[in-house]
Amino acid sequence: MTAVEAGRKAATPLDVARVQADFPILARRVHGQRLVYLDSAASSQKPRAVLDAMARFYETSNANIHRGTYQLAVESTEAYEAARRAVARFVGAPDPRGLVFTKNVTEAINLVAASWGGANLKAGDAVVLTEVEHHANLVPWLMLKDKLGIELRFVPMGEDYTLDLTHLDRLLDGAKLMAFTAMSNVLGTLTPIRRITDAAHAAGALVLVDGAQLVPHVPTDIAALDVDFFGFTGHKMCGPTGIGAMWARPELLEAMPPFLGGGEMIRDVRLDGFTTAEVPTKFEAGTMPFAEAVGLHAAVEYLGALGMDAVREHEVSLTAYALRALKERHGDDITIYGPSEPAMRGGALSFTYKGIHPHDVSQVLDQKGICVRAGHHCAKPLLRRLGVGATTRASFYVYNDESDVDALVEGLSDADDLFSL
């Protein structure tokens, strides 16, 4: 019985040993050591169900979508549209017509900035972001600032690594859009999405959420969150690379100009002009990553069968264990940048250790088969705010267990042995 079959039986706690058996890569060794993969916030590993679904698709149904009338093309198109419905359902999207497939969440946010932003913002209009954003939800807006002269305002990070919402209403005053991450990829902090959304709507602003770190780890219900735009990325949620999505209210998509132009997104083209297809196809120019959509479909089925409540519970308890174990062994030698209360955060733990540079920490850990991320995590303004050039980040997912945390705790002592002054 696979973990998926087990999960279907009941909303029981995650059987991590069984989950691990679903991920072929975990069987490999690195530098002669067991692979301890603690970088799922950057990209997750893939269960066999996803790999098999893609291989099966290529072996049996592969053909370009929306184009042929032959059997393979029909099957392929059906598989793609079934993926759209399944992914939309997985994130609680009120209407699958609003789900536009993209290359990743970066492209999803760029789509909104270029299309909606280009059509609806003018010089002096305000967009509110936060200080903790990934570059993916910052640079597209900085580009619009350069291009149109829009004003950017930032919700600051408070001392406890949560957003300081004290002046939220003032920041939102007159703003056209509030765009923020649902969970910081550096701090792990979960954002109170509904609270910010209600405040933004009351101020007359639309809301865009970067769900890249939320959807893989926390049950997500876009309808209940009441947001207007919600982006996420497949490769962090057990899916393949090359596919992500932007869900938007269909009426917004209908009013927005197209983003990329080309095949598929049109209704008619003449030498002097074109008309666009219906949403969401209007925003899906060129041959889409349809095999990847099939893979993402398998990924959401896999996660759905594990049960996202169980996934979240597992990560809260593993994060609690990690916070405790790191502090117990390393005390004041380790500084963890993020909330100390596991319920307020996800399983991405950024830290600095004894003044040893994160590059060096991660190099030592690599020798023990431990994969962690070292650097600025594509959030340079936040790192500057924290007063550090780089941190080491360990992040957890469904296949991690306490022995992975123990390896990390132990590995840091090795770095200490090598680098201590």
Ligand X SMILES: Cc1ncc(COP(=O)(O)O)c(C=O)c1O
**CA distances (Å), 245 to each of 61, 97, 222, 289, in order?**
23, 12, 13, 11
Q: Cβ of residue 382: shortest distance to ligand X, in angstroms?
A: 11
* Per-residue x/- track, 302-341, other proteins (CB under 8 A): ----------------------------------------
Contact 139, 167 (CB under 8 A): no
Distance between CA atoms of 90 and 246, rounded to whole angstroms?
Answer: 13
Contact 316, 183 (CB under 8 A): no
Interaction between residue 178 and ligand X (CB under 6 A): no
Amino acid at 352: T
Interaction between residue 33 and other proteins (CB under 8 A): no
Q: Cβ of residue 138: shortest distance to ligand X, in angstroms?
A: 10
Q: Which does 136 bind (CB under 5 to 8 A by kind): ligand X, other proteins, none?
A: ligand X
Q: Cβ of residue 389: shortest distance to other proteins, in angstroms?
A: 4
Interaction between residue 271 and other proteins (CB under 8 A): no
Q: Which does 375 bind (CB under 5 to 8 A by kind): ligand X, other proteins, none?
A: other proteins
Q: Cβ of residue 160: shortest distance to other proteins, in angstroms?
A: 24
Tokens coding 203: 């101020």
How far is the first Cα of the chain from the last one, in angstroms, to the nearest whole number? Answer: 52
| CB-CB neighbours of 124 under 10 Å | 10
List of E strands, 295-407? 334-337, 348-353, 370-371, 373-375, 391-395
Q: Mark whether 378 is an active-site residue.
A: yes
Interaction between residue 118 and other proteins (CB under 8 A): no
| CB-CB neighbours of 312 under 10 Å | 17
| CB-CB neighbours of 332 under 10 Å | 7
Interaction between residue 187 and ligand X (CB under 6 A): no
| CB-CB neighbours of 272 under 10 Å | 5
Q: Which does 138 bind (CB under 5 to 8 A by kind): other proteins, ligand X, none?
A: none
Q: Which of 375, 409, 410, 413 binds other proteins (CB under 8 A)?
A: 375
The alpha carbon of 132 is separated from its chain's Cα centroid by a whole number of angstroms, namely 14
CB closer to other proteins, 271 vs 421: 421
Q: Cβ of residue 144: shortest distance to other proteins, in angstroms?
A: 22
Catalytic residue from among 378, 381, 410, 414: 378
Interaction between residue 217 and ligand X (CB under 6 A): no
Backbone phi, psi, residue 332, to 5°:
-80, -5
Distance between CA atoms of 197 and 221, rounded to whole angstroms?
Answer: 14
Q: Cβ of residue 135: shortest distance to other proteins, in angstroms?
A: 11
Q: Which does 105 bind (CB under 5 to 8 A by kind): other proteins, ligand X, none?
A: ligand X
Alpha helices in 61-192 (DSSP H): 71-90, 105-111, 118-120, 139-148, 168-172
CB closer to ligand X, 103 vs 330: 103
Q: Which of residues 222-241 bind ligand X (CB under 6 A)?
A: 233
Quick check: bond before 192 cis, omega within 30?
A: no
Q: Which of residues 401-420 bind other proteins (CB under 8 A)?
A: 418-419
Distance between CA atoms of 65 and 153, rounded to whole angstroms?
Answer: 42
| Local structure of residue 49 (DSSP, 8 states) | H
List of E strands, 235-344? 244-248, 266-270, 273-276, 334-337
CB closer to ligand X, 213 vs 391: 213
Interaction between residue 102 and ligand X (CB under 6 A): no
Q: Which does 71 bind (CB under 5 to 8 A by kind): other proteins, ligand X, none?
A: none
Footprint on this chain of ligand X (rule: CB under 6 A): 104-106, 134, 136, 181, 185, 210, 212-213, 233, 244, 378
Binding site for other proteins (CB under 8 A): 31-32, 357-360, 363-364, 367, 374-376, 380, 383, 389-390, 418-419, 421
Q: Which residues are catalytic?
A: 378
